[in-house]
Amino acid sequence: MRNGASDLPRPPGHGDPRPRERPLVTLPEEDLRWLDHATLLGRRGWGRVHPNPMVGCVLVRDGRVLAEGWHREFGGPHAELGALERSIEDPAGATAYVSLEPCRHQGKTPACTDALIHAGIGRVVYSVADPNKQAAGGGAALRAVRTAVSGPVWPASVGRRENPVFFHRQASGRPFVAAKLALSLDGRIAEAPGLRTTVTGPEALREAHRLRAGFEAVMIGSVTARVDDPRLTVREGGVTPRVPPTRIVLDTKASLSEAGAIFRETEGRVIVFVGESADRAKVARLEKAGAEVRQVRQGPHGLDLSAVLDAASARGIHSILCEGGGRLTGSFLAAGLVDRLYLFQSPRVLGSGGVPAFPGPLAEGFWTEWRAAFDPERLGEDVLTVYEREG
């Protein structure tokens, strides 16, 4: 390895892992490069480790890599344990670079702090503090036994960027919601209302499927279900999700066709949220087709989205990728319920007759609350930009 570059293939993600924020501590550039590398290693756990965070670790002595590790599977060894197990020589005295504070909690696996101490690691450098109160405190535990520790190097915002769902769960009881839209250069998502339109290319499609693998549920509205007839499964992107995402449809009147593609797939359960006034015969028809149908309260313009999220949380769903089209996405945005935006932009122009990506009115100054979380990523002819709320 040289200058932090691994012979492992580059993992999927959103480009350069170096944060834009100012470090909390002053470190040599070499240390920062190794932390960057640990972050890239951690991203390999996408779709396999949730609800745990993605974490990477690299063991280094005198500029040489002794081992690399990352959390590969929920319930399996954490990054530090994996690296220690793979070390090409006794790691005593080496430096461990970790993308999240080593855990102090013994759960499905031993506490990483204990493993580092028992291995005689001489120094630990970690990117961000662990927000989980059960597992936090690894840095202090290491210092208590006179292990040299540098960390947290970056503020919590960096951790939220890399592991948004994990950090969100420590602070909020509602599911983390990310919205994904594929739009044209002129901000349209279809050529005309009711017309299924392929806006982006195959590279963007693969990335969209990879995104699905990292969420516990994928959500659409009844209009998207009728027009696009999607399966909402993960079929591309190089990641097989540990647990296939639940497929959610918001269908106020229970009008979804039981002949839809979503019912022909057996990968992932189907939940249909309907309004309190939905026809019982239609509800029974959807249940017979294999859906779990749940009634939630209605608002003036359809289902109460907060009630939908509460009901999803009660069913063990803590992260949702909304692919529901402009109207549903706009409703979530207007309600302040979107935590992240994935915008895939095509160079195509669909014209004034096209369906706008954001059809509903948003509060004045709404977009000033958002910023690009990562540098834009080119996917063939398309560009993916990931946005998150400020603060």
- Catalytic residue list: 80
Q: Which domains does the chain have, with CATH numbers?
A: 29-163 (3.40.140.10), 172-389 (3.40.430.10)
With CA atoms as reference, report the closest residue to 263 among 247, 281, 244: 247
- List the beta bridge partners of residue 377: 384
Distance of alpha carbon 372 from alpha carbon 374, whole angstroms = 6
pTM of the model: 0.93
H-helix segments, 69-201: 79-86, 112-118, 138-144, 156-162, 164-171
Q: CB under 8 Å to 232, separation ≥6 — which residues?
A: 212, 218, 220, 245, 247, 262, 265, 268, 323
pLDDT string in tens for the chain (391-residue length) = 333 334 444 455 667 789 989 999 999 999 999 999 999 999 999 999 999 999 999 999 999 999 999 999 999 999 999 999 999 999 999 999 999 999 997 777 789 999 999 999 999 999 999 999 988 999 999 999 999 999 999 999 999 999 999 999 999 999 999 999 999 999 999 999 989 999 999 999 999 999 999 999 999 999 999 999 999 999 999 999 999 999 999 999 999 999 999 999 889 999 999 999 999 999 999 999 999 999 999 988 889 999 999 999 999 999 999 998 889 999 999 999 999 999 999 999 999 999 999 887 788 888 889 999 999 999 999 999 999 987 6
Q: How far is CA 243 from CA 107, 149, 173, 293, in A?
A: 20, 36, 21, 21
CA 260 vs CA 1, 232, 255: distances in Å: 50, 11, 11
